[in-house]
């Protein structure tokens, strides 16, 4: 039985053994861990806003915002603080608890920092959690953002160290880890995950999860993205990832990072309701709301609201407790109690008879 303890010494072999469990067993183990740490029917909701679009000098093979690829994307300059504030107010009205701001930069320039720190202060004043993704950060830049009150900084590892060079050549895996170190040292929370379906093998997904889980502190938020194939990028003709392999990765991330929010992130527009439901059962408990993720399509809030209603899922609010501590025995007792109570429901069918 899985014990949801915090570990930072996971081996590839251990994670591989989890990844290759019979599917039902893996889902059961992930659900137990999830229930030890979170409300199983509650999902954290964020909204992502592109505050500076396109013309990025990096060569990330999946990204339509790279200046190296012709994707038809219109370039936009850094958004004015007032416009960002309007977007944040709209996000709060839609039920988001976190407002994420993304800029297509290799790293922010000195002249940009006063503007982005002003955005952080103004959005926080609305009572929202704040998150930014601005590329690589120096130690001083991380300190400036932390002083402004930034809650989370997003910087994904994307894939395994071994496959990374096939996807990006303009910055190293070490560069990404260094930025995460600066974020932690400045006292901010980390949002870091990866993208699945970029042509990687299962061992690369295992390597990604291992590197995230073996950070000195687990990321508080772990976005698991499904590749969105964008015309004009090197990955536009990539084959779809097996949906069950995608769910397996979410379940394993839940088990090895038991207290992290695992975000079902980019790619939901191409996922069926059934696949999303399995992802939530596997331990995903965060999504991006809205019809757009930076430049890519995302299910509209109306579609998400219908899915939540069908699944009996509630959006988390900042006033609600965000963590529950339960031991393994308690969780199993609650599951058995739920089954026993269901026996008195007129819709319950006892297959054991």
Residues 131, 171, 248, 254: which is the catalytic one?
131
Residues 35, 49, 98, 100: which is the catalytic one?
100
CB 317 within 8 A of CB 97: yes
311-324 core/surface letters (b: 16 or more CB in 10 A; e: else) = eebebbeeeeebee
Please give the radius of gyration of the chain, using alpha carbons only, rounded to the nearest integer.
20
CB 69 within 8 A of CB 233: yes
Residues 35, 205, 254, 263: which is the catalytic one?
263
Among this protein's residues, is 131 annotated catalytic?
yes
CB 300 within 8 A of CB 291: yes
Give the number of other CB atoms < 10 A from CB of residue 345: 8
CB 284 within 8 A of CB 257: no
Residues 35, 49, 60, 171: which is the catalytic one?
60
Residues 35, 49, 63, 205: which is the catalytic one?
63
Pairing between β-strand 292-293 and β-strand 296-297 as defined by DSSP bridges: antiparallel
E-assigned strands of 3-151? 42-52, 98-103, 129-133
3-state secondary structure of 60: coil
DSSP 242: P
**Separation of alpha carbons 239 and 290, rounded Å:** 26
Residues 35, 98, 191, 268: which is the catalytic one?
191
Q: Which two tokens stand for residue 209?
A: 């999860």
**Separation of alpha carbons 194 and 147, rounded Å:** 27
**Separation of alpha carbons 345 and 339, rounded Å:** 10
Among this protein's residues, is 205 annotated catalytic?
no
Residues 49, 56, 176, 248: which is the catalytic one?
56
Among this protein's residues, is 100 annotated catalytic?
yes
Among this protein's residues, is 49 annotated catalytic?
no
**Location of structure tokens 């103004």:** 122
Full DSSP string of 197-227: -SS--HHHHHHHHHHHHTSSS--SEEEEEEP
3-state secondary structure of 338: helix
**Separation of alpha carbons 120 and 131, rounded Å:** 8
Among this protein's residues, is 263 annotated catalytic?
yes
* Residues acting as catalytic residues: 56, 60, 63, 100, 131, 191, 263
């Amino acid at each position: 039985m899985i014990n949801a303890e915090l570990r930072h010494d996971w081996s590839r072999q251990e994670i591989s053994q989890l990844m290759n469990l019979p599917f039902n067993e893996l889902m059961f183990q992930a659900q137990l861990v999830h229930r030890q740490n979170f409300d199983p029917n509650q999902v954290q909701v964020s909204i992502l806003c592109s505050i500076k679009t396109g013309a990025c000098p990096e060569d990330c093979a999946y990204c339509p915002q790279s200046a190296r690829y012709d994707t038809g994307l219109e370039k936009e300059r850094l958004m004015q603080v007032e416009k960002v504030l309007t977007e944040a107010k709209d996000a709060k009205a839609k039920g988001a608890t976190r407002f994420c701001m993304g800029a297509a930069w290799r790293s922010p320039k000195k002249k940009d920092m006063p503007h982005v720190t002003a955005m952080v202060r103004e959005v926080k004043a609305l009572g929202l959690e704040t998150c930014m993704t601005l590329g690589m950060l120096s130690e001083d830049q991380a300190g400036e953002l932390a002083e402004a009150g930034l809650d989370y900084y997003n910087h994904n590892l994307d894939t395994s160290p071994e496959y990374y060079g096939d996807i990006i050549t303009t910055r190293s895996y070490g560069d990404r880890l260094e930025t995460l170190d600066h974020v932690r040292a400045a006292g901010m929370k980390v949002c870091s995950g990866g993208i699945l379906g970029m042509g990687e093998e299962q061992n690369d997904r295992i390597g990604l999860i291992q590197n995230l889980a073996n950070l000195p502190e687990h990321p508080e938020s772990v976005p698991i993205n499904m590749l969105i194939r964008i015309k004009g990028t090197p990955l536009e003709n990539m084959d779809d990832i097996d949906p069950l392999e995608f769910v397996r990765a979410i379940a394993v991330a839940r088990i090895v990072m038991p207290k992290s929010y695992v975000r079902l992130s980019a790619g939901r527009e191409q996922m069926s309701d059934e696949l999303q439901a399995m992802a939530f059962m596997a331990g995903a408990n965060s999504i991006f709301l809205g019809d757009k993720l930076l430049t890519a399509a995302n299910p509209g809030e109306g579609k998400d609201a219908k899915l939540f209603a069908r699944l009996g899922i509630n959006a988390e609010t900042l006033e609600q407790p965000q963590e529950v501590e339960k031991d393994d025995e308690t969780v199993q007792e609650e599951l058995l109690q739920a089954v026993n109570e269901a026996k008195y429901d007129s819709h319950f069918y006892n297959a054991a008879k």
